[in-house]
Amino acid sequence: TEAELAAIAREARSHGARVLVVTLSIAIQVYPDPRVAAAYARELGVADLFAPERRLAAAAARDGYPELNLAPLMATYAETHNAALHGFANTTLGWGHWNALGHRIGGELIAHRICAELNAPPGLLKNQTVERPGLATEGLNVAPRPPRQ
């Protein structure tokens, strides 16, 4: 996957285009109660559930393309607001596909990052943190939470 993403980025650059690699979340990564995610990580024998995101971020930094990993940002939102971003009232909140709020938060994070990328000269934004002033979700604190020990 890393080699393919690097090839896509090179191909885009060769045509004067930009690429932004965005990863989404799985339900357990953004479950509103972090104890549930921590218990699942312990069951798997891993320190936390964001290792794939860190690996992709490292590959993006190494290969020179921007990336946006939504899961850590959305996990912070879910925990801070005790909000389920996956699942539905007629199924199980917190599990399954993104719900309306998950789509809204994910969409706004992606939109703000794309706007930041488009307003920057080519090559300046390489995996730097993007400020998100005016994000439509009140009180959205999207700093990724550190791995739990």
On whether the CB atoms of residues 65 and 6 are closer than 8 A, the answer is yes
pLDDT at res. 75? 96
Residues in a beta bridge with 21: 67
Q: Let me know if 15 is exposed, middle or buried by CB neighbors in 10 A (0-12, 13-18, 19+).
A: exposed
Given a contact cutoff of 8 angstroms between Cβ atoms, the answer to whether 96 and 114 are in contact is no
Nearest to 48 by CA among 34, 33, 27: 34
Query: Rounded to an integer, what distance in angstroms lies between the CA atom of residue 31 and that of residue 28?
Result: 5
How confident is the model at residue 117, as a pLDDT?
A: 83
pLDDT at 121: 53
Query: DSSP letter at 30?
Result: G
3-class DSSP state of 67: strand
Whole-number Å distance between alpha carbons of 2 and 63: 9
Q: Which residues of the chain have pLDDT under 70?
A: 120-149
Report the pLDDT value the prediction gives residue 118, as an integer from 0 to 100.
Answer: 83
Per-position b or e across 85-112, b if 16+ CB within 10 A of its CB: bbbeeeeebbeeebbebbeebbebbeeb
Whole-model pTM over 0.95: no
